[in-house]
Amino acid sequence: MSRIAVCAPHFTRVPELRAEMLARHPEADFNDEMQDLQGDALIAFLRGHERAVSGTERIDDAVLAAVPELKLIAKIGVGLDAVDLDAMVRRGVLLGWTPGVNKRSVAELTLSYIITALRKVPTVNTEMRGGIWRRQVGNTLSGKTVGIVGCGHIGKELVPFLKPFGCRLLVHDIRSYPEFYAANGIEPVDLDTLLAEADVVTLHLPFTPASKHMIGAHALGLMKPTAVLVNLARGGIVDEAALKTALEDGAIAAAAFDVFAHEPWPDRDLIALPNFWSSTHIGASTHEAITDMARAVIDNLDFSRGRIPDPSWIPDWVPKAAMA
């Protein structure tokens, strides 16, 4: 039997999932110490295994070169920015991946962050803990214009959550979904128009070379001074230095982020701002989402389900030289 290296610690944290993995794949080896496996430590853990379960571990060309016996990577979660897809193509390594498996968890948290930012809930909580009783005046979500940047699985999942609030919905995506837009009264627009007209801008796109710093000083300058920015997508899509300046100067009202370019611990001055609220990349951290992602990974470890990465089925993947 081929051996399996379970790098992601989800299966160690949840005994039921570990049991399900072993029932299907008894040859699995687990990251029982729940280490953050990177670089040489990751290579050492992967050696001698034909298949691997990866989460946030960076599997690049150097790792694949050092472990030529690795033939399949089953990715837990939906983000692929930690995996070098072009290197996988060059080396013929299969990818087992189920997009959209955590979409409900992330969409629910997005809605809560939108309302939190509009109503300044964390500020009120912080003031109360400091002995200050003050009624902060915020804004309702009802009737506001919400701009969704990226209308893939999570962007689409968010739409019905916003409908009861009577929001005007704008969307910007490099792909077009005309039937979905028509069925839900969504206006597809260019990015500049979305940024200029939205009261809430929420990001739901992958991190790629094309999306790096998509929301920078220029983009932030287009937004209303009363607008809020929500990012539960990926760090690096927003230029965090430019965001800090915009928040300090009042160019936008507030921002709420679950993801950062550098994790853990982004710019401490940014997260200390009174109009910036943050969390520790918890978008998919619900019992239900973790269970769904883990079960998808168990299925995706079968060689029959793995595929060589291809931009036709990986949304918004911008291939480099290997795909030329």
Domains recognised in the chain with CATH numbers: 4-101+286-323 (3.40.50.720), 103-278 (3.40.50.720)
Q: What pLDDT is recorded for position 323? A: 35
What are the φ and ψ backbone dihedral angles of 138, each rounded to 5 degrees? -115, -150
Which residue blocks in 47-148 are alpha helix, DSSP H? 61-66, 85-91, 103-119, 121-129
Give the predicted TM-score (pTM) of the model. 0.86
Q: What pLDDT is recorded for position 321? A: 36
Collect all residues with Cβ–Cβ distance below 8 Å to 88 and sequence separation of at least 6. Answer: 64, 73, 94, 95, 308, 309
Q: Is 10 exposed, middle or buried (0-12, 13-18, 19+ CB in 10 A)?
A: buried
CA distance 57 to 86: 16
Q: What pLDDT is recorded for position 322? A: 35
Q: What pLDDT is recorded for position 68? A: 96
Q: What pLDDT is recorded for position 34? A: 85
Q: What pLDDT is recorded for position 316? A: 56
Collect all residues with Cβ–Cβ distance below 8 Å to 256 and sequence separation of at least 6. Answer: 113, 114, 116, 117, 228, 229, 230, 231, 276, 277, 278
CA distance 215 to 220: 6
Which of the residues are catalytic? 234, 263, 281
Q: What pLDDT is recorded for position 156? A: 97
Which residue blocks in 228-322 are alpha helix, DSSP H? 240-249, 268-271, 287-300
The token pair at 314 is 């990986």
Which residues of the chain are under the pLDDT cut of 50?
A: 1, 318-324
* Helix (H), strand (E) at residue 175: none
